[in-house]
Amino acid sequence: MTPKQESEFAARRPNALDRLITLFSKLPGIGKKSAGRIAYHILDNNPALAQTLANELAGLHQAIRRCSTCGGFTETDPCSVCSDPGRDHTIICVVEHAQDMRIIEESREFPGVYHVLGGLIAPLEGVGAGDLSIDKLIARIREADADRQVRELILALNPTVEGDTTSLYLQKLLKNFPVEITRLASGMPVGGNIEYIDKLTLSRSFRGRVKL
Amino acid sequence: MTPKQESEFAARRPNALDRLITLFSKLPGIGKKSAGRIAYHILDNNPALAQTLANELAGLHQAIRRCSTCGGFTETDPCSVCSDPGRDHTIICVVEHAQDMRIIEESREFPGVYHVLGGLIAPLEGVGAGDLSIDKLIARIREADADRQVRELILALNPTVEGDTTSLYLQKLLKNFPVEITRLASGMPVGGNIEYIDKLTLSRSFRGRVKL
């Protein structure tokens, strides 16, 4: 096939559809073929589906903000977990991403509150402790009201090199605080990702957490 | 956990995010966890990504229509394939869905034009020949200009019971027309789906097509 023919073939595809497929294929876990499947599904469907999706996406960043206490995504500030007097505010579960918080909430295993680090220490990728929400965590522990003194910090980080490095860093940093530091028990496959753990394994990890 | 606690847990999740995750999880090939991953990715990203996606989705059905000749999706009518004098209009490739047309175009194996049936004969699902774009196909063959007399019909349908039934039906219907009817060669795994075939296998199937 000559270059001229190639460009003709490329020119033949409808542009609006192409752009949508390209956008979808950049989302996590969606390859080029899946993106095509999704775009054609939306096109084949009632226009109301496309419109509803469009409206939700357009309003997303306005509706959802970061909780100023824990860093999780929320519609109200502070979020429903941080503002709930029924939660145990003396136990903070430290997670990498806001979505980890969602996964743990769905397992219904944890009665305390959260703190989202926003990442893990990864020197090779240029992410240092200063890039994470660690100062805020220290402030939360220091400035807690007398009846909400933090007594335990559960590090629910991925069991990877970065997760272990971050755990070690936090452990050293907090060694003079009257706070017990634990990490989730193994049961999580090493090298795995906290997002894909089944609820039962996650539940076992909470129960079997190990003191550092 | 009591029912009251359950409902509290459910109430804690932000609504706009929930709705988006539910919408995404209804798209083909996206499970609940993937939908969560995608929604958080969009939320973590620059709001421009959500806005671009929203705009593309909102404008999709207005920008893309069905080609009145072949039934494929297009921004212009007739589509760029049907209106291209460089294509061989004497060979029509019959496909189930418009997205099959895209896959075949990407393989750059086929110089002719297309006809989208819009489905396959499936008596168990209540889809009969009358529900498909077969009358239009017959009309295209009957009413072609003298220099564009259709001489071959390539049936590029999935090698499933429904695909074989539809092929057989078309073969009988067209047996008195001066048109050669072929189907894609095997090389496609039986019971598989035309959408997931690699380009090399698809190419081989075009070359080795078998006369019916």
Instruction: Say whether both B112 and B24 belong to one domain.
Output: no
pLDDT surpassing 70 at residue B52: yes
Chain B nearest C-alpha distance from A19 (Å): 8
pLDDT surpassing 50 at residue B70: yes
pLDDT surpassing 90 at residue A112: yes
Indicate yes or no: CB of B6 within 8 angstroms of CB of A108.
yes
A39-43, A108-112, B144-148: least confidently modelled range: B144-148
Q: Note the pLDDT tens digit of each residue in B191-205.
A: 777 777 777 777 777
Range of the domain at A15: 3-63
Which amino acid does the sequence have at B198?
D
Instruction: Say whether both B18 and B114 belong to one domain.
Output: no
Chain B nearest C-alpha distance from A175 (Å): 32
Closest residue to A60, CB basis, from B12, B16, B195? B16
Categorize the per-residue pLDDT at B117 as very low, low, confident or very high, splitting at 50, 70 and 90: very high
Give yes or no for a contact between B64 and A57, defined as CB atoms under 8 angstroms apart. no
CATH number at residue A96: 3.40.1360.10
Q: Note the pLDDT tens digit of each residue in A133-185.
A: 999 999 999 988 888 899 999 999 987 889 989 999 999 999 999 999 998 87
Give per-residue burial for B137-151: e unless 16+ CB within 10 Å, then b.
beebbeeeeeeeebe
Instruction: Say whether both A26 and A87 belong to one domain.
Output: no
Indicate yes or no: CB of A80 within 8 angstroms of CB of B11.
yes
Give yes or no for a contact between A194 and A158, defined as CB atoms under 8 angstroms apart. yes
pLDDT surpassing 70 at residue A57: yes
Instruction: Say whether both B56 and B77 belong to one domain.
Output: no
pLDDT surpassing 80 at residue B189: no
Q: pLDDT value at position B186?
A: 61
pLDDT surpassing 90 at residue A102: no
Instruction: Say whether both A55 and A95 belong to one domain.
Output: no
A187 versus B87: the higher-pLDDT residue is B87
Indicate yes or no: CB of A57 within 8 angstroms of CB of B61.
no
Cite the DSSP H helix spans in A65-191.
Answer: 98-107, 134-142, 161-173
Cα gap B100→B97, rounded to integer Å = 5
CATH number at residue B34: 1.10.8.420
Chain B nearest C-alpha distance from A114 (Å): 13
Instruction: Say whether both B86 and B53 belong to one domain.
Output: no
Indicate yes or no: CB of B1 within 8 angstroms of CB of A37.
no
Q: pLDDT value at position B147?
A: 81
Phi, psi (deg, nearest 5) at residue B135 = -55, -40
The enclosing H or E element of B152 equals strand B152-156
Q: pLDDT value at position B187?
A: 66
Chain A nearest C-alpha distance from B188 (Å): 17
Instruction: Say whether both A84 and A154 belong to one domain.
Output: yes
* The pair of three-digit structure tokens given for residue A14, joined into one six-digit string: 């409808």
Total domains in chain B come to 2
Instruction: Say whether both B129 and B176 belong to one domain.
Output: yes
Indicate yes or no: CB of A60 within 8 angstroms of CB of B17.
yes
Residues of chain B neighbouring A36 (CB-CB closer than 8 A): 99, 102-103, 195
Q: pLDDT value at position B38?
A: 95
Domain endpoint, select from B33, B63, B93:
B63
Which amino acid does the sequence have at B195?
E
Give yes or no for a contact between B159 and B188, defined as CB atoms under 8 angstroms apart. yes
Q: For chains A and B, what is the number of CB pairs under 8 angstroms?
A: 183
Does the bond joining B78 to the residue before it have cis omega, within 30 degrees of 0?
Answer: yes
Q: Model ipTM?
A: 0.76
The average pLDDT across A189-209 equals 75
Domain endpoint, select from A43, A63, A83:
A63
Closest CA to A82 of A97, A96, A70, A65: A70
Closest residue to A42, CB basis, from B12, B60, B97? B60
Categorize the per-residue pLDDT at B13 as very low, low, confident or very high, splitting at 50, 70 and 90: low
Closest residue to B64, CB basis, from A43, A54, A75? A43
Residue that has been written with the tokens 């039986």 in this structure: B190
Cα gap B163→B120, rounded to integer Å = 6
For the residues of B120-144, what is the DSSP string, one character each? --BGGGTB-GGGSTHHHHHHHHHT-
Q: Residue B1's closest chain A neighbor by CA?
A: A108
Residue B68 resides in a domain: no
